[in-house]
Chains A and B, each alone.
Chain A
Amino acid sequence: MCIAAPGKVIKIEDNIAHVDYNGNIITANAGIVPVSAGDHVLVHAGLIIQRINKTEAEEMAELFSQLEEI
């Protein structure tokens, strides 16, 4: 139930975003995260809960760097 899925905002109208999940377009509420077309976002239960601001490769590099400091 607490699943959140990543997608890309295609367009936004009145706080409702159209989000592309691998070709499937769904609508999601943007009431707690301001978004624009082109943003990569995480959607949970029809609500955009965050913009994704790093690539997977960037995050993994940062994680390894954190581990080396422990």
Chain B
Amino acid sequence: MDIATVKEYLKSYDGPQCTIMEVCGTHTATISQNGIPDMLSDKIRLISGPGCPVCVTVAAYIDRLLELALTQNTTVVTFGDMIRVRGTKLSLSDASAMGASVKTVYSPFEIIELAKADTGRNFVFAAVGFETTAPVYALIIERLINDNIKNVKLLTAIKTMPEAIRTVFAKNGKITGFLAPGHVSIITGYELFLDLAKKLQVPFVVSGFSGEELLLSVYALTKLKGGQALNMYTSVVTTEGNERAKEKLLKYFKITDAPWRGMGIIKNSGMVLKEEYGEFDAGSQNLISDSMYNSACKCADVISGMLSPCECPLFGGVCTPENPQGACMVSAKGACFHHYVNKRL
């Protein structure tokens, strides 16, 4: 078998209808950038899932970040993706224009040096992310304790994938297979998705991020049956995952119920700092409100695969990357952003 055979199979596929959800936002980006939907038969449909951490963050969290950024002597430090996402009314970018102190960084660890260089100022990191990013926050807490740094806190919105996937699968009803998130799997291990495949009786493939890897993974998902799973990212994903990362996470964080944009509170789908590390928490609890900046925005349905971005009435007209109405059009990993810039239908 070679890649040409796989491409020919996928284009001429005439079996049962396949609806495959790419859970990860980076998979969404690669699929769109490589034009993969156009390489598939009409009987294979790819839909985007809840795997963009910025997109699933609720408005109340953004509002709390704004409140902190506008607090005297406080700087909010964040990934660049977050600054244009609106809360109930404003974004961090808007707040910055009003005089708020907001700094974007490539690596959350940069907050340590910022805090050491200006001990009279408070720094808050916008700690969003999934299992891939969460160990970063555990290591930051460890460093704050070891170096006795007192002027850094985290505002956490850490989400975990299994219960969100279970919720989306129950809600959607059409999904026949999942492209499991590759980088999440590096931490959790392939076994998490094998277990989920068995429980949900739907196939999972842990996929890498090149166009070829994704084509092979889609091929596999047209062949696998309910309850089966494959690890097709073996260069970095192991069965058991990264035990050291999991230990660090469970030392500082505990599992909790978490709010997801448009999906409500999903039981056991997030992580918060344990009570004994509460001094490092910038008020992450009870940030639940999910009101959209634009009530016609369909981000919630897009995240759960119920609607394609182009089925949203705002898509491409009122809502564009230059003037995003919802988080899915803001983030570089958002489904709406990639459907728009790559003209994916």
Contact = CB atoms under 8 A, between A and B. Distances in A.
Contacts of B212: 60
Interface string B18-56: 000000111000000000000000000000000111100
Interface string A39-70: 00010111101111110101110111011101
A1 B52 contact: yes
A33 B232 contact: no
B236 A52 contact: yes
Nearest to A64: B1
A38 interface: no
B55 to A, nearest CB: 10
A52 B235 CA distance: 6
Interface in A1-39: 1-4, 26, 28-29, 31-33
A28 to B, nearest CB: 8
A46 B110 CA distance: 9
B331 interface: yes
Which residue of A4, A52, A63 has the most chain B CB atoms within 10 A of its CB atom? A63
Nearest to A65: B1
Contact of B219 (A26, A58, A67): A67
Contact of A1 (B109, B129, B210, B244): B129
Interface in B225-282: 230, 232, 234-236, 242, 244-245, 248
Interface residues of B, number: 52
B1 A67 contact: yes
Given A32-B135, A32-B139, A49-B187, A2 B2 contact: no
Contacts of B196: none
A17 to B, nearest CB: 12
A20 B12 CA distance: 42
B220 A67 contact: yes
Interface SS, A side: mixed
Contact of B183 (A31, A44, A52): A44
A32 to B, nearest CB: 4
Interface in B111-141: 128-130, 132-133, 135-136, 139
B109 A49 contact: no
A37 to B, nearest CB: 20
B235 A59 contact: yes
A45 B186 contact: no
B235 A4 contact: no
A33 B136 CA distance: 12
A39 B195 CA distance: 31
Nearest to B139: A31
A70 B203 CA distance: 12
Interface of A: 1-4, 26, 28-29, 31-33, 42, 44-47, 49-54, 56, 58-60, 62-64, 66-68, 70
Given A2-B130, A32-B135, A46-B108, 18 more contacts: A1-B54, A1-B129, A2-B52, A2-B132, A26-B106, A31-B139, A32-B139, A33-B244, A45-B106, A45-B107, A47-B107, A47-B135, A49-B245, A59-B208, A59-B213, A60-B213, A64-B1, A66-B230
9 closest A-B pairs (Cβ-Cβ)?
A: A46-B107, A54-B235, A32-B245, A50-B236, A70-B223, A59-B235, A32-B244, A46-B109, A31-B139
6 contacts: A2-B129, A31-B135, A32-B242, A46-B106, A54-B235, A70-B220
